Amino acid sequence: MDAWPTFWNHNKPLYEAHIEAGFKFKHGNGVAHFVDQNGKYATYPKGYITGVQYRQNGSPRPYYASVYLGDSWMQYTGKTDEECVIQALERAKEVTNP
């Protein structure tokens, strides 16, 4: 499973709705987030997934992704990127389709 297309297919309608509402997506210097019309930080859409990233830190579950729950982030880890994607997508779908 290639994680990026899977995440994009989930995130695309959330991203497009946020852009349509007047927010912009800003990225640079290792940081990516939405900003409002004044350039100030804006929260991600509920259910939005970030990741999959890999950290070689000795953990048996080096892949991770995060799901925005509306008031906090939930981080998911996995032994493989596929395992991580499956967990994150399950939670994101619960959040966006309660």
Domain span at 27:
3-96
pLDDT (tens digit per residue) in 26-44: 988 778 899 999 999 999 9
Q: DSSP states of 37-83 as a string?
A: TTS-EEPPPTT-EEEEEE--SS-S--EEEEEE-SSSEEEEEESSHHH
Given this model, what pLDDT does residue 2 score?
66
Distance of CA 38 to the CA centre of its chain: 23
Total domains in the chain come to 1
- pTM surpassing 0.85? no
Output 52 or 36, whichever has higher pLDDT.
36
